[in-house]
A and B are shown apart, each in its own frame.
Chain A
Amino acid sequence: MSLPTPALSGRKLTRSFGSGDMTFTAVHETSLDIFPGQMVLLMGPSGSGKSTLLALLSGLLRPDSGRVLALGEDLWQLSDRDRKQFRLRNYGFIFQGHNLYPSLTARQQLELVLRWGERANGRDARRRADEMLDLLGLGPKADLRPDHLSGGEKQRVAIGRALVKNPSFCFADEPTSALDWAHGQQVVELLHAAARERGATVLMVSHDPRIIPYADQTINLEDGRLTEPLPAQGRPLRSAS
């Protein structure tokens, strides 16, 4: 039986920071494949290079060497403009902080992405934003601004903002780190369900082992290297393999 084509692949990705004696290599020749529709958890201790690897795979940080293939595109061979266009069409992001506009309501946070990103008209943007908020259980709070939402609700709005444009990928960097476990669990469940509903592949960085049961696969990173190959689909390939 042949394996399906990976949706996202990293090949021998290396990224260092600093210069001279102060050079610090955050990611060493790391290769991995991520398959469509999965929720993949990238774990590792603090400083292990998880967020850097996420930044490389998501097209936000240029690798020193190596390639990133997303939906068949060699991401770092694209021009800045084309790469940004690719992100617009295919990538959603959830960050540690919610980074929502304090002045906009939950609905407006989502509408803004559709209207500015896809030039959706007002009515269409509103309908799609409301559908997404309903899916996240935020329908009744659509007209509230961030300062009237709890931490968990704000992070759910951020999930909505990442997924409302139906991206192929959703990158989440420690989305539960600022939440207690009850709310964190809720956020992970919703992200899992919403991504599945929308057919998005999720790559989530976290150091919280309680999230492992929700992931289709878990990848471990230590000192910028993958520590073990995983047997299932979406296996990481051993560094420099």
Chain B
Amino acid sequence: MSYALATIWHERQRFLPGILAVAFSALLICMQVGLLLGLFTVVSLPIDRSKADVWIGYPGIQSLDLGQPIPVSWQSRLAMQPEVERTEPLLTGFVFCNKPDGGTEMCLVIGSRLGIEAIGAIAELTPEMRVRLTEPGTIVVDETALLSLGLRGIGDEAQMGGHRVRLVGIVRGYKGLAGPFLFCSQPTARLLLPQITGQVTYLLARCHHPDQAAAVVQRLRAYPNMAVFTRDEFSLRSRMHWLTMTNAGIALGSAALLGLIIGAAVTSQTLYSATTAALRQYAALEALGIPTWRMVAMVLTQSFWVGLAGITLALPTVLGLAHIADLFGARVLLSGSLLMTTAAVTMTMALVSGLIALRSLRLVEPANLLR
């Protein structure tokens, strides 16, 4: 066992605040970013759960919900690509729903084709729902939207954009961020979104093989005035837009940063006080001629072990909390890369804290031991 580790174990009461501070930082970063990613995954769910490999939108499109009308004639540009199996339009846009209590709720209409081979429809639309949706003026919503739209269950009706619509199906896991998703047929979408008459919002394509999407996208980018993405690109773009451009992202990011700063302050102070408490021991070694870098290495090694202990403590806690959050319907997306990045960031924080604590070694004065 290294001398640094032996010291931490023997004086664990002294080092505990530093270890807890690292664990707190790791926990905060993981949960905040995990919640953020979990939250914003919803933004791109209709992209991720469609069968479309290629998405075309208006130039400058930032996110799925921010689509603008584009000419339907561009569909031929897609169709003439040899890798493309079939293409279809998708209609999206916002509509206001009049709630029973008098208020309004903004909803994102997603009007797709409904056949079993349709590429714009989400996978969660069952064949039965698709049949029901073919009747104009019918919608499917997420279960969490029922209350906000004043709907009690299938068969209930609501007033949207001046039209009566009827609920014919309920899906799970599509709790929209900007407002509830309304899944419907294209005729229903045209009814609710008169502003895109004669045009569409997106043009989608399915390739013979998903790997061919990149080549198609590359070729289609030669056309001016239209934005072309693979499914993954558009999904990421939508999430990143929400992550960087919304106050929610900034607020949660700031909280994670604050956690990091607090963690660094506490860890640094813990290491500083531990070093200060051992000044007489360091001074005795200094008198004996032990090189100063050995003592610097001791403090930095201590900061490494404090970091490792904190991260080790945080990991099961994060997984446990994510599980509990999931039980309450809050999705915490903990990817391997998030856990690795958090571990790297908090370990760096611990080592930087160690560097800051090194100033205490300047107080080492062996002549003071001769009194």
A contact residues vs B (CB 8 Å cutoff): 51-52, 54-55, 58, 60-61, 84-89, 91-93, 95-97, 99-104, 108, 112-113, 116-117, 145, 161-162, 165, 173
In the assembled complex, the Cα of A54 lies from the Cα of B3 at a distance in Å of: 30
CB neighbours (8 Å) of B291 from chain A are 84, 88, 116-117
B9 engages A103 (CB within 8 Å): yes
Q: Please tell me if the beta carbons of A113 and B370 are within 8 angstroms of each other in the complex.
A: no
Q: Are B288 and A54 in touch, CB under 8 angstroms?
A: no
Contact residues, B305-353 vs A (CB, 8 A): none
Does A95 contact B289, Cβ atoms closer than 8 Å? no
The CA of A85 and the CA of B288, in the complex, are separated in Å by 9
Which single member of B283, B284, B290 contacts A88 (CB below 8 Å)?
B290
- Tell me whether A60 and B287 are in contact (CB under 8 A): yes
Tell me which residues across on chain B come within 8 A of A84, comparing CB atoms: 286, 289, 291
Docked-complex contact B289 and A85, CB < 8 angstroms:
yes
A-B contact pairs, 23 of them (CB 8 A): A51-B371, A52-B370, A54-B370, A58-B287, A61-B367, A91-B287, A91-B288, A95-B284, A95-B287, A95-B370, A96-B371, A99-B284, A100-B281, A101-B7, A101-B281, A108-B6, A113-B285, A113-B290, A116-B290, A117-B289, A117-B291, A165-B288, A173-B369
Count residues of chain B with CB under 8 A from any CB of chain A: 24
Task: Indicate the member of B10, B287, B289, B294 with the most A CB atoms within 10 Å.
Answer: B289
Closest A residue by C-beta to B1? A108
Partner of A162, one of B283, B288, B367: B288
Check if B278 is an interface residue, CB within 8 A of chain A.
Answer: yes
- Residues in chain A near residue B280, CB distance under 8 A: 97, 99
Contact partner of A103 (CB less than 8 A), chosen from B6, B284, B289, B366, is B6
Q: B135 contacts the other chain (Cβ, under 8 Å)? A: no
**B11 at the binding interface (Cβ < 8 Å):** yes
When the two chains form their complex, are residues A86 and B289 in contact, meaning their CB atoms are under 8 A apart?
Answer: yes
Is the Cβ of A102 less than 8 Å from the Cβ of B371?
no
Known: A108-B3, A108-B6. A93 touches B367 (CB 8 A): no
Write out the residue numbers on chain A whose beta carbons fall within 8 Å of the beta carbon of B289: 84-89, 91, 117
**Are A93 and B288 in contact (CB-based, < 8 A)?**
yes
Identify the closest chain B residue to A113 (Cβ): B288
Alpha-carbon distance between A96 and B45 when the two chains are bound, in angstroms: 72
- Shortest distance from the beta carbon of A185 to any chain B beta carbon, whole Å: 23
Closest to B294 in A: A116
A108 partner residues in chain B, CB cutoff 8 A:
3, 6
A103 near B370 with CB under 8 A, answer no
Whether B3 and A112, one on each chain, are in contact in the complex, defined by CB atoms closer than 8 angstroms, is yes
Q: How far is B285's CA from A117's CA once the two chains are assembled, in angstroms? A: 9
* Closest beta carbon of chain B to A98's beta carbon, Å: 9
Q: Most chain-B Cβ atoms within 10 A of its Cβ — which of A92, A99, A173? A: A99
Q: Tell whether, in the assembled complex, residue A93 and residue B7 are in contact, meaning their CB atoms are under 8 Å apart.
A: no
A61 to B367, CA, bound (A): 6
**B19 → chain A closest CB, angstroms:** 16
Complex Cα–Cα for A96 and B369 (A):
8
How distant is B199 from chain A, measured CB to nearest CB, in Å? 74
Contact A145 B287 (CB under 8 A): no
The closest CB in chain B to the CB of A165 belongs to: B288
Judge whether A104 and B3 touch: CB under 8 Å.
yes
- CB A156 to nearest CB in B, in angstroms, measures 15
B367:A60 contact, CB within 8 angstroms: yes
> In the bound complex, do residue A51 and residue B283 qualify as a contact, i.e. CB atoms below 8 Å apart?
no
Partner of A93, one of B6, B281, B284, B371: B284
Q: Known contacts being A55-B367, A99-B281, A99-B283, is A104 close to B6, with CB within 8 Å?
A: yes
B267-309 interface with A by 8 A CB criterion = 278, 280-281, 283-291, 294
Hey, which chain B residues are within 8 Å of A162, CB to CB?
288
User: Contact: B370 with A51, CB < 8 Å?
Assistant: yes
The 8 A CB mask of B113-133 against A (1 = contact, 0 = none) is 000000000000000000000
Residue of B nearest to A97 (CB): B280
Closest to B293 in A: A116
What's the nearest-Cβ distance from chain A to residue B298, in Å? 9
| Top 9 A-B pairs, shortest CB-CB distance | A88-B289, A103-B10, A87-B289, A99-B284, A103-B7, A60-B367, A116-B294, A51-B370, A95-B369
B118 shortest CB reach to chain A, Å: 68
**With the chains together, A7 CA to B280 CA distance in Å?**
29
CB neighbours (8 Å) of B290 from chain A are 88, 113, 116-117
CB distance from B145 to the nearest CB of A (A): 60
Q: Please, which residues of chain A bring their CB within 8 A of the CB of B288?
A: 87-88, 91-93, 113, 117, 161-162, 165
Besides A88-B289, A88-B290, A173-B370, 11 more A-B contacts (Cβ < 8 Å) are: A61-B367, A85-B289, A87-B288, A93-B284, A93-B287, A93-B288, A97-B280, A102-B10, A103-B9, A104-B3, A117-B289
- Taken together as a complex, chains A and B put the C-alpha atoms of A97 and B284 apart, in Å, by 10
- Cα distance, A145 to B285, chains bound together (Å): 18
A116 and B11: CB pair below 8 A?
no
Q: In the assembled complex, which residues on chain A have CB atoms less than 8 Å from the CB atom of B283?
A: 99
B7 CB contacts on chain A under 8 angstroms? 101, 103-104
Q: List, in ascending order, chain B residues with CB within 8 A of A161's CB.
A: 284, 288
Report the separation of the CA atoms of residues A162 and B285 in the bound assembly, to the nearest whole angstrom.
10
The residue on A at minimum CB distance from B365 is A60
Contact check, A116 vs B285: say whether CB atoms are below 8 A apart: yes
Closest beta carbon of chain A to B369's beta carbon, Å: 5
Contact A55 B11 (CB under 8 A): no
- Distance (whole angstroms) from the CB of A71 to the closest CB of chain B: 14
**Is the Cβ of A87 less than 8 Å from the Cβ of B287?**
yes
A231 to B67, CA, bound (A): 104
By CB atoms of chain B within 10 A, which of A88, A95, A113 has the most?
Answer: A95
Partner of A97, one of B3, B10, B369: B369
